[in-house]
Structure 1
Amino acid sequence: MTESPPPSAVVAAAIDLFAAQGFDQTSVEQIARAAGVSRSTFFRQFGGKDDVVFADHELLLAQLRDYLGEAHDDPWAAVCEACVQVFRHFASDPELARRRYTVVRQVPALRDREIVTVFRYERLFDEYLRSALPGLDPLDAVGFAALVTAVHNHVLRQLIRGPKRVPVTVLRRALDDAMRRFGVHPAGSPAGADDVAVAVFPRGMPAAEVARRLGAALGT
């Protein structure tokens, strides 16, 4: 009995066909044949042609929900690390990412779905921050979620629009700067066990983050 190829191989085969002959001109039968799977297997795994284009995002969103569901000392840094995980995935095969980008840019329906997909990442980060930081102003949660998502997408576009590899350190530096601009960058060493502690925080730091850091430093 022949073993079916992994979903990632089917995705690659579909993207290659879309890039070579056009999204609308490519049938599910052609994708299944190129990937070495049956038509029914394709529909069972993906549902449709547009679904196969965004299959990686569905997997990534599920992985990020699990990751953010774990305990993290710094929720802001956890969101940034989630962005790094997404970038690493697409940077592992930049040529496939570039072909996918070209296909999406050429099909209005796919562009619209891409916008919705980006919003799903923002919403995931927003909801996580509100849960991890009780009392956080909703504007701070949605603002940071939108900021880091935009920073990630900007760096990712540098990768997929050009012929060169973009190391993950570029994204890490950009996210580091985003945390500083937002006033939530990790600062200094934890306070000692003194009876009196003096703390200085950036003016723009959300009040809930100030409270979180003070509580962590004072052991409360």
Structure 2
Amino acid sequence: MAAGDEAARFRLGVIDHALRLFAEQGYEATSVDAIAAAAGISRRTFFRQFGSKEDVVFADHEAQLAWARGYLGAAQGDPWDAVCEAIVGLFERFTQTRELAARRYQVVREVPALRDREIVTVFRYERLFTEFLRERRPEVADLRLIQFTAAVTATHNYLLRRMLRGQAEAGPGELRAALAAIPRGPAEELVVAVVPGNMSPRRVADLLAERLGNL
């Protein structure tokens, strides 16, 4: 096993113990010492790895953000598709540790301070995607980019939370289908033309070219 994989497994183990204790005893009632004892580590090791109780709740998000940043940095082709594939990849990664994600969801929803932290964390994903699109599609209005990344992130979170609550078995396919319905790119103008039914296609094309050229 690679050293990086072993370190990641170690951190996930500590996170799992912490979330289990938070769910059983309550967030405020659970001490760092209790988490360290359950995980079989020292208090000093805990703080070296996580910094605080709040940090341990969201620790795997740092790894997820790093993965998404690396994915986008290497992405080729359509940048809108790259953002969608990145969010699908994040969804898959969260579902690989579904039980842990479900426990975190239950803990976060019961602690106001953690809900506030979650809002900040979600915004970091949106900002990452928006900055990527700004770099790849500088000609597109900033508002359009922000609307797109906010919709993409909200769609991911909605399906993930439904799954974690046991309300749906959403998967990457369902997420991709929902993402495909989100408008992307610059806003397009819709032109409606009313022409006589007996007008030839050639004449329709000529009239449209003439009228559009005058817009």
When normalised by structure 2's length, the TM-score is 0.80
Q: Where does residue 212 of structure 2 map in the other structure?
A: none
1:166 matched to 2:170? The reply is yes
Q: CA deviation at 1:204?
A: 6.0
Structure 2 gaps of 5+ residues are 1-5, 191-215
Question: Which stretches of structure 1, 4 residues or longer, exceed 3 Å deviation after superposition?
Answer: none
Q: CA deviation at 1:203?
A: 2.5
2:74 partner SS: coil
C-alpha distance in 2 between matches for 1:108 and 1:137:
35
Which amino acid is the alignment partner of residue 177 of structure 2? R
Cα distance, 1:109–1:202 mapped onto 2, change above 3 Å: closer
Q: Where does residue 104 of structure 1 map in the other structure?
A: 108
Tell whether the 8 Å contact from 1:183 to 1:204 is kept in structure 2 after alignment.
no
Tell whether the 8 Å contact from 1:94 to 1:159 is kept in structure 2 after alignment.
no
Q: CA-atom RMSD, angstroms?
A: 2.0
Tell whether the 8 Å contact from 1:183 to 1:203 is kept in structure 2 after alignment.
no
1:177 matched to 2:181? The reply is yes
Tell whether the 8 Å contact from 1:91 to 1:159 is kept in structure 2 after alignment.
no
Percent identity, aligned pairs only, is 54
Tell whether the 8 Å contact from 2:18 to 2:35 is kept in structure 1 after alignment.
yes
Number of positions where the alignment pairs a residue of Structure 1 with one of Structure 2: 184
Report matched runs for 1:42-53 at 5 Å: 42-53=46-57
* Bigger Cα Rg: 2
Q: Where does residue 122 of structure 2 map in the other structure?
A: 118
C-alpha distance in 2 between matches for 1:14 and 1:132:
40
Q: Where does residue 68 of structure 1 map in the other structure?
A: 72
Cα distance, 1:61–1:68 mapped onto 2, change above 3 Å: same
Q: Where does residue 128 of structure 1 map in the other structure?
A: 132
Q: Where does residue 84 of structure 1 map in the other structure?
A: 88
Q: Where does residue 142 of structure 1 map in the other structure?
A: 146
Q: Where does residue 56 of structure 1 map in the other structure?
A: 60
Q: CA deviation at 1:7?
A: 0.4
Q: CA deviation at 1:166?
A: 2.5
